[in-house]
Chain A
């Protein structure tokens, strides 16, 4: 029996190590294949996404290793494996609630407390959804992210297997909720699946509810960046009245007044500031900038499309003249 548990533990450990980057990579390939990034991934945004994916990992991995191997044994040497008697089911339930509810609050407060907003703004500045932007965060938001330390502490206390199982399920749900592949659409389309959809969209984060959180607009019946804060469980939003379920996907994502702040400012604010005048990340920028109205947003989107069309036409001209 112990050999079987050890075997399962090894599989979970390995999946936990390589599983998340593999999942992101695999879904990313699918998104590119389906052309979901066409004309949506400008050079500046590419730098933001790639640097936010790689650089924080270089800082956080050694930090977590130090925390697990030195800090926890130093502050509490007798606590190692103290809760290893907790049955898997209960360990899973306790950790799932503790982990995800804490993250719900961490996320919600970054939206509702004005001075915290700039640490989370980078995640919302992307005008597209998908694997490219899923890890896009300011480094300070990532460093203080409770989940990493909580999981490490629970492993130390002897709840390693349920903690890793929760992390694997949570990573899958949150990754799929950020994906530009609307896997939940069939549940809304076919009447026979409606009861499952009803439960699903209230229990976990789906692309429809999480995309609404990333919408460029709010209070229009679809976009809802003032709510839908849940990561693994959407239940918290239902319970606390911050949910909006529309079963629709927003037409525009991001921040309506976003003008492409440099990747250094987006990743490392307040160490590096933005050169974009009036930006929330600029030296004298506002703590929270009031959203532009819908007309301004529509104008900006139209201008962007116009620019892209002109670019494509001018790129095509030399080819035609050569023929």
Chain B
């Protein structure tokens, strides 16, 4: 049993539109960042760098909090 041609064509058209819809919220997010000047990914990198100093392997006090 085969898929009717009209159905096949409709699926193809709708899949192409869907690809744009998938991208839409991601594009909207970056456009908002561009307008507002926000760079939240940088905050995350900073946060990681800050937390790095308190690990036992790289801290001066050899892991002791005293």
What residues make up the interface of A, taking CB atoms closer than 8 Å to B?
84-87, 90, 93-94, 97-98, 101, 105, 109, 112-115, 239-241, 286-288
Contact = CB atoms under 8 A, between A and B. Distances in A.
Given A86-B29, A113-B3, A241-B10, 14 more contacts: A84-B44, A87-B29, A93-B25, A93-B29, A94-B25, A94-B29, A97-B22, A97-B24, A101-B21, A101-B22, A105-B15, A112-B3, A112-B11, A239-B17
Interface residues of B, number: 22
A90 B25 CA distance: 7
In the complex, the 9 A-B pairs of residues with the closest C-beta atoms, listed nearest first: A85-B44, A114-B1, A90-B29, A93-B25, A85-B40, A240-B14, A85-B41, A94-B25, A287-B1
B23 to A, nearest CB: 9
B1 A288 contact: yes
B47 to A, nearest CB: 9
B21 A114 contact: no
Nearest to B41: A85
Given A90-B29, A94-B29, A115-B1, A101 B18 contact: yes
Contacts of A288: 1
Contacts of A240: 10, 14, 17
A98 B22 contact: yes
A187 to B, nearest CB: 27
Contacts, number: 47
B57 interface: no
B5 interface: no
A278 to B, nearest CB: 16
Contacts of A286: 1
A287 B18 CA distance: 28
A241 B14 CA distance: 9
A87 B30 CA distance: 11
B65 interface: no
Contacts of B14: 240
Interface in B1-16: 1-3, 7, 10-11, 14-15
A113 B29 CA distance: 35
A241 B26 CA distance: 25
B33 to A, nearest CB: 9
A79 to B, nearest CB: 14
A219 B14 CA distance: 22
* Max count, chain A CB within 10 A of own CB: residue among B7, B22, B25: B25
A97 B21 contact: yes
A113 B25 CA distance: 29
B18 to A, nearest CB: 6
A114 B2 contact: yes
B30 to A, nearest CB: 9
B52 to A, nearest CB: 15
25 contacts: A84-B44, A85-B40, A85-B43, A86-B40, A90-B25, A90-B28, A93-B25, A93-B28, A97-B21, A97-B22, A97-B24, A98-B22, A101-B18, A105-B15, A105-B18, A109-B11, A112-B3, A112-B7, A113-B3, A239-B21, A240-B10, A240-B17, A286-B1, A287-B1, A288-B1
A93 B7 CA distance: 30
Contacts of A105: 15, 18
A90 B18 CA distance: 19
